[in-house]
Amino acid sequence: MAANFWASSHSKQLLDPEEMDEVPAADRARGITPMEFRLVKIHMSFHIWRLAQQVKVRQRVIATAITYFRRVYTRKSMTEYDPRLVAPACLYLASKVEESTVQARLLVFYIKKMCGSDDKYRFEIKDILEMEMKLLEALDYYLVVYHPYRPLLQLLQDAGITDLTQFAWGLVNDTYKMDLILIYPPYMIALACIYIASVLKDKDTTSWFEELRVDMNIVKSISMVILDFYDTYKIDPQRGLPEDKIIPVMNKLPSKV
């Protein structure tokens, strides 16, 4: 199940958790803290999701776009790469990679519809196309991304608990509000979501996990990150972060870089 992943460029780019909170020097100079750096990534991940709903793409496209977005900021600053433009450009690039192409003009149309009179989010087609080229360079042209969705379905079937599919799938969706996809193999994220779902839904999966011979310390560590996220960030599933929490942070960033 994980063999193809370990042979991929994705596996070679996994990072340590400590690296996720490193704020680039240019952003630190603008007064952005590690917490605020995380808030921007959460906010813009939600922005990608909302935009994707408008243009009607598959969940896999959304997940790939958010992975690109988060990976970019392990290498580039938000001061240099405006997240308000990087987000739709990542969705545009991901739609092409996942063979579900969305036209740039549609993204421009829906961004204007979603963001109204906020000029900081108003971009033209050429802006997205130019940023796409910059993203390819920032990502070193490594575009293959593995996701937890397929192993999740396989593992749930193997465990005989397919009735937890919807709940566990929702947990996997929420992991893209975090940096987990950049840190852990996708099948381990899937296992953590199954572990949480089985505990919350009173399913005894102890013997099944023992038969898998996986490192339960890692599974439980990922699970704690997910549960801590829910406790720390009170996110409206439709509206995202509260405006009073995210707008002051976004105002620290330059626009139309």
Is the residue at 91 inside a domain?
A: yes
DSSP, collapsed to helix, strand or coil, labels residue 24 as: coil
Nearest to 39 by CA among 251, 255, 257: 251
Is the residue at 155 inside a domain?
A: yes
Separation between Cα atoms, residue 234 and residue 251, nearest integer Å: 21
Is the residue at 17 inside a domain?
A: no
Is the residue at 21 inside a domain?
A: no
CB 150 within 8 A of CB 138: no
Per residue in 92-134, pLDDT tens? 999 999 999 899 999 999 998 888 777 788 899 999 999 999 9
Is the residue at 186 inside a domain?
A: yes
What does the buried/exposed string (b/e) look like for 35-58 if buried means 16 or more CB atoms within 10 Å of the residue's CB? ebbbbbbbbbbbbbbebbeebebe
| Residue 118 sits in the same domain as residue 159 | no
Q: Specify the CATH number for the domain of residue 40.
A: 1.10.472.10
Percentage of residues in the chain with pLDDT exceeding 70? 98
| Residue 61 sits in the same domain as residue 154 | no
| Residue 102 sits in the same domain as residue 200 | no
pLDDT band (50, 70, 90) for residue 194: very high
Is the residue at 134 inside a domain?
A: yes
Is the residue at 6 inside a domain?
A: no
pTM over 0.85: yes
Given 116, 144, 172, the domain boundary residue is 144
| Residue 170 sits in the same domain as residue 135 | no
Given 144, 173, 193, the domain boundary residue is 144
Range of the domain at 126: 29-144
> Tokens standing for 183?
């840190």
Is the residue at 251 inside a domain?
A: no
| Residue 92 sits in the same domain as residue 193 | no
| Residue 77 sits in the same domain as residue 156 | no
Separation between Cα atoms, residue 190 and residue 155, nearest integer Å: 8
DSSP 184: S
